[in-house]
Amino acid sequence: MAGFFDRFFKKTEAGGEKHLQFDEVPGCLDRETKDAGAKIESAAKDARSAAVAGIKEIEEKIRNLEKTEISELSHPHPKVRQTALKSRANFITSMNKTLSTELPEDPDQLYNVLVELIRSFSNNMRRQGKYLHPTFPEEMKDLKSSLDIVGRALNTMTKDLKPSVELREKINKAREDYEKISSAANELRTIDGDAVKYERRIESLNKTRVDLESEKKSILSSGDYLEYESILKEIDSLKEEKSEVSVRYGSLLLACDNVLRKTAYIADKNGDKKISEKMNYLVMLLHSGEKKDSADASELYRELYPYINETISENETIIKTKHEAQLFSSANLFISQLGEICDAYSGTMSDLDSAEKRLSALGINEKLSGLDKKVSDIESELEKIRYELDTGRSRKESLADSIPAIIEELKDLLSEIEGRDVFIEGDWKDLARET
């Protein structure tokens, strides 16, 4: 890579060569643009003067053509004379319309106008003009010679403009190359500046993360955390108790549900609507999920037990298991089991609520979650920064690969523009700081 840059960055004192610093390129191109523009304007000015002179001759000859009489001397055939008479008016109108075109001084506009002017002259000569040649051969020949003056003015302008126009195109291409190099230098400076900011941010984030990890370590070794762990174990134990009580309650419901529902069905079938409604309400209470207080269900069960016992006596097939038979053998047995389970559940829930309040009061979970969230946010930001740094490095490599070829092209263009070897000195990466 070093050898590549040496070819056009090294200084050479040999005569005929030109040496430019990167920041001198725009000025050089501006001077060349001015010189090329002056040559273009000069060629356009000469062409315009020649075209104006030709147009004046054409106007004069059109006036003469309009005044010329058409007689037997013009042409012996009457139809030819008649055709010429009709065509002359149209031809003169078309030519005068074309001749009224203003010739601009701007070179680009002048060139386009002259092209259109000559095209219009040619069309007029081919269309209406062809009918005038038999009658006015000398006049039309003379007019053609004046039209050629405008044509030669355009040809001369085209020939004179060609080197300057080509030079201007090279200048524009060289300016594009320079802008690409300048833009790349600015982009490189931005990437380097961002990299410095990112590195500082990484350092700050890592320091913050160390502080957060230290704070977390301090919490984990504190007396409050030991108490926090103890309460967590207590809560886990209470949740197991709650689950066991719920299982016992489910077993009790399973044992009584069949008998109660069939008793309600029999009551409804026998016309005891109130008994049936109360039985269904009792089933609903037992299935409501509220196991903290068994008072309502126990009271209603005690009220309905005589009917339940009587129904069982009259319909022995209602009872399916020994457990069901034992459970409904007396009113107090079911009520006793229901109350025991509900009291156990209520006590467990009370202890669980108390433990969770003590746990919340310590604030350990919130502190640890907050610290973990901050560390997670830092990791996310670090990941984004690493991505930006990788992208910047990749872009720098891309610029390092592409810019030398553009510099070489710029050097070649400048050499063609100057007509001698041009060497660009300095480091293109410094261009952003110099401009």
- Nearest Cα to Cα of residue 88 among 122, 55, 136: 136
Looking up tokens 């690409």 gives: 180
- Read off the pLDDT of each residue in 38-47 and give the average, rounded to a whole number: 82
Q: How confident is the model at residue 109, as a pLDDT?
A: 87
Q: How confident is the model at residue 381, as a pLDDT?
A: 96
Q: Is the pLDDT of residue 371 over 90?
A: yes
Q: Is the pLDDT of residue 2 over 50?
A: no
Q: How confident is the model at residue 73, as a pLDDT?
A: 57
Task: Give just the sign of the alpha carbon dihedral 226, 232, 235, 241.
Answer: negative
Q: Taking the CA of residue 141 as centre, how many other CA atoms within 13 Å lie in the half-sphere pointing to its CB?
A: 5
- CB contact set of 372 (below 8 Å; sequence gap of 6+): 216
Q: How confident is the model at residue 319, as a pLDDT?
A: 87
- d(CA 271, CA 252) in angstroms, rounded, equals 29
Q: What percent of the chain has pLDDT over 90?
A: 26
- Nearest Cα to Cα of residue 186 among 349, 3, 403: 403
Q: For residue 196, with 0-12 CB atoms within 10 Å meaning exposed, 13-18 middle and 19 or more buried, which class applies?
A: exposed
**How confident is the model over 298-310, as pLDDT tens digits?**
888 889 989 988 8
- d(CA 252, CA 324) in angstroms, rounded, equals 10
Res. 4 pLDDT band, cuts 50 70 90: very low
| 70 in Cβ contact with 33 (< 8 Å) | no
- d(CA 299, CA 289) in angstroms, rounded, equals 18
**How confident is the model over 238-292, as pLDDT tens digits?**
999 999 998 988 888 888 888 889 888 899 899 999 998 998 998 888 887 655 5
Q: How confident is the model at residue 10, as a pLDDT?
A: 38
Res. 224 pLDDT band, cuts 50 70 90: very high
- CB contact set of 146 (below 8 Å; sequence gap of 6+): 54, 57, 58, 61
Q: For residue 18, with 0-12 CB atoms within 10 Å meaning exposed, 13-18 middle and 19 or more buried, which class applies?
A: middle
Q: Is the pLDDT of residue 379 over 90?
A: yes
| 245 in Cβ contact with 345 (< 8 Å) | yes
**How confident is the model over 385-410, as pLDDT tens digits?**
999 999 999 999 998 889 889 888 98
Res. 13 pLDDT band, cuts 50 70 90: very low
Q: Is the pLDDT of residue 55 over 70?
A: yes
| 110 in Cβ contact with 73 (< 8 Å) | no
- d(CA 162, CA 138) in angstroms, rounded, equals 36
The residues facing 19 across adjacent strands are 423
Amino acid in the structure at residue 249: Y
**How confident is the model over 155-183, as pLDDT tens digits?**
888 887 788 788 888 888 988 988 888 88
* E strand or H helix that includes residue 425: strand 422-425
Q: Taking the CA of residue 217 as centre, how many other CA atoms within 13 Å lie in the half-sphere pointing to its CB?
A: 6
Task: Give just the sign of the alpha carbon dihedral 37, 26, 182, 193.
Answer: negative
Q: How confident is the model at residue 133, as a pLDDT?
A: 80
Q: Is the pLDDT of residue 361 over 60?
A: yes
Between 128 and 180, the more confident residue is 180
Average pLDDT, the chain: 84
Q: Is the pLDDT of residue 6 over 70?
A: no
Between 329 and 73, the more confident residue is 329
CA distances from 275 to 285, 314, 325, 330, 354 (A): 15, 16, 21, 19, 41
Q: For residue 121, with 0-12 CB atoms within 10 Å meaning exposed, 13-18 middle and 19 or more buried, which class applies?
A: buried
For the CA atoms of 316, 322, 328, 333, the dihedral, rounded to the nearest 10 degrees, stands at 170
- d(CA 142, CA 132) in angstroms, rounded, equals 13
Q: How confident is the model at residue 219, as a pLDDT?
A: 92
- Nearest Cα to Cα of residue 111 among 80, 147, 156: 156
Q: Is the pLDDT of residue 434 over 50?
A: no
- d(CA 59, CA 71) in angstroms, rounded, equals 23
The residues facing 422 across adjacent strands are 18
Question: Which range (7-21, 68-82, 185-199, 235-249) has the least confidence?
Answer: 7-21
CA distances from 84 to 81, 123, 125, 428 (A): 5, 17, 13, 73
Res. 100 pLDDT band, cuts 50 70 90: confident
- d(CA 174, CA 426) in angstroms, rounded, equals 18
Res. 74 pLDDT band, cuts 50 70 90: low
Q: How confident is the model at residue 5, as a pLDDT?
A: 36
- d(CA 28, CA 19) in angstroms, rounded, equals 11
| Terminal-to-terminal C-alpha distance of the chain | 25
Out of 109-118, 189-198, 312-321, give the one with best mean pLDDT: 189-198
Q: How confident is the model at residue 113, as a pLDDT?
A: 87
* E strand or H helix that includes residue 133: none
